[in-house]
Amino acid sequence: ISNPLPLIVFEISNPLPLVVFEILNPLPLIVFKIFNPLPSIIFEIFNPLPSIVFEILNPLPLIVFKISNPLPLIVFKISNPLPLIVFEIVNPLPLIVFKILNLLPLIVFEILNRLPLIVFKIFNLLPSIVFKILNPLPLIVFEIVNPLPLIVFEILNPLPFIVFEILNPLPLIAFKISNPLP
């Protein structure tokens, strides 16, 4: 843990072995609350700018996190209650809110949010779901609820002012959605 600047609060509880943490907080006004109750968890968290809040709960093993937040005013709440989940989240611009709940294992997320003012609410309740979401422009809202397994999503939103509400209540559904115009 490296805290080079003031006004940073850390609350880290690691009750079991085989946990690796690499946390770099170069700027002030960052709050971390991280609970890792089971082993074999790897965290790599980079917070280079201020005013970022992280609440990460990883109750089961074999979870890998790579989170990079280069700009301020980003809020993350990530709960991973079951194992074998991989997250790679890159938020390069400010004013982005993420609420991601992954309740069952074998889920892969690759989320790239390149411009500000984007809101994501993603619920993945059952396993074997793959998400690839690319939002390159601002003012896009996503609400995706996937309650059953074996669903594949590939959503590309290249232009702004797009609203998505996608509900997939049954399994074995494949989505490929491309929205090239606003």
pLDDT, one tens digit per residue, over 8-33 is: 444 444 443 334 444 444 433 344 44
Q: Are 110 and 130 in contact (CB under 8 A)?
A: no
pLDDT band at 53 (very low <50, low <70, confident <90, very high): very low
Mean pLDDT of 151-180: 40
> Which pLDDT score, from 0 to 100, does residue 82 have?
38
> Strands, E, within the chain: which ranges?
8-13, 19-24, 30-35, 41-46, 52-57, 63-68, 74-79, 85-90, 96-102, 107-113, 118-124, 129-135, 140-146, 151-156, 162-167, 173-178
